[in-house]
Structure 1
Amino acid sequence: MKKSLVLVILLLCIIWTGCPDFPRIGPASVERAWTYYEDAEFDKAILEFEDVIEDEPDNAEAYNGLGWCFGKICSLSTAVTNYNEALNKQSSLIDPYAGLAFAYSDLPDDAYAIISATTLIQKDSLYFFGHDHDITWHDVRIIKAKSLCNLGDFASALSEVTVLNPSFSCNVTTPEGREALLNEIERLRGIL
């Protein structure tokens, strides 16, 4: 009797003081993965998205989520691979284009950053990322303008900047004008 009472008390103590992390019981969830992402728990989000893909290999949103997670932890090539896989699975997704614009800009691969940004803007000119409202079409246009400057297309970069700040103007055919444009891009990056 005393042994069973001690055993019951011991089990209750273990339960009340916390259990180790046992494997999840129940299916993986894209929603749970995005919650981890929004809480900046990128390692947990990656595992959850990977579990979703294991159960549903054609789940484009899970690949998109992996892209954003890997982008946040600066594994940019892996992010690009996952964004592209998301688009291969479901071409109507929009978020991967924003992610691609950011990743390509940071790699740097300015030509692909421009293509991704242009595609996103054409699909949704008022874009915002549903899992981080600080990421909007403004950011995508700034990336596009920066990449255009990097490729020497200052006139097109100026067009992107004037969408964000219609009162800005400069003569991009002069070194001073190009410097003013670059300064405006940096200023916009800081306030938008």
Structure 2
Amino acid sequence: MKFNKQLLYSALISLLLISCSDDPVAPPAKTAAQFTADGWKKFEAGEYQDAISDFNDAVNLDVNANEARSGQGWCYMMLDNFNTAIASLNLIPINAERTDSEAALAFMHNANADYQLSLDATDFILTEDPDWQFAHNNAIDIDDIYLLRAHNFISLGEFANALTAFENLDAEFSADVTTENGRNQLLAAIEALNPGISELQSKLKH
């Protein structure tokens, strides 16, 4: 009888072990970094609302997830929700890596006709990374920033500075901006390259 009890206990333990081994193992919880990476992948695919969801999850897990806040800003900008985009980007500390964020701010401030704020953002980029290229679409780079600067300056009536900025794009361009004709030539050259948010959005959607 004692022998039978031992067999019974052994059988029960074996069944318990088999049962436990068949239980599905829960996947590990995603980290803020993983949510951020997934969000940028969706951004690059043009899935802006889904990307925002991932970026929100990242920020909820880590209030210092600055890359996720940058992602929020870029997504909301692409959805033309500038107020929310700017609010998200302004939460990123000034001492953090924020050249991509400043680029988005530069475009939105330009679109809002806040030309000096846009210039301030481009100043930051040129100081921190004069060879800047957007990490999530290499069609957007420092040339877009110089074009934006030229448009900002000419909109503020700073024609000499506008010419200097534009010469970074076309070193052979020449116009006497002390004359009305020269200023019109420069304005036409800038506008021919379609500066601003619409061109940026077009590049990102292709």
User: Which of 53, 62, 65 is equivalent to 1:56?
Assistant: 62
Partner AA of 1:69 in structure 2: C
1:141-189 deviation per Cα after TM superposition (whole angstroms, max 9, x unaligned): 1111101111100110000001111100101111111111011112334
1:118-144, Cα deviation, whole Å (9 max, x unpaired): 110111111110111111100111111
Match of 1:95 in 2: 100
Give the counterpart letter for 1:86 in structure 2. I
Deviation of the 1:94 alpha carbon: 1.5
Aligned length: 168
Q: Are 2:78 and 1:77 equivalent residues in the alignment?
A: no
Q: Who is 2:175 aligned against?
A: 170
CA–CA distance in 2 between the matches of 1:129 and 1:59? 18
Q: Which amino acid aligns with 1:167?
A: E
**AA at the equivalent of 2:87:** T
2:155 maps to which residue? 150
Structure 2's unaligned 5+ residue stretches are 1-26
Q: Equivalent of 1:104, from 96, 109, 112?
A: 109
- Is 2:143 the partner of 1:138? yes
1:117 aligned residue: 122
Q: What is the percent sequence identity of the aligned residues?
A: 29
Q: Distance in 2 between the 1:165 and 1:84 partners? A: 33
Distance in 2 between the 1:87 and 1:107 partners?
23
TM-score by length of 2: 0.76
Which residue of structure 2 aligns with residue 6 of structure 1?
Answer: none
Matches within 5 A, 1:13-28: 26-27=29-30
Q: With structure 1 as the length reference, what TM-score do the two structures score?
A: 0.82
**Structure 2 CA distance for aligned equivalents of residues 83 and 145 of structure 1:** 23
* Counterpart code for 2:59: I
Greater length-normalized contact order (CA 8 Å, ≥ 6 residues apart) = 2
The aligned counterpart of 2:51 is: 45
Letter in 2 for 1:34: W
Shift of 1:91: 2.5
RMSD: 2.0
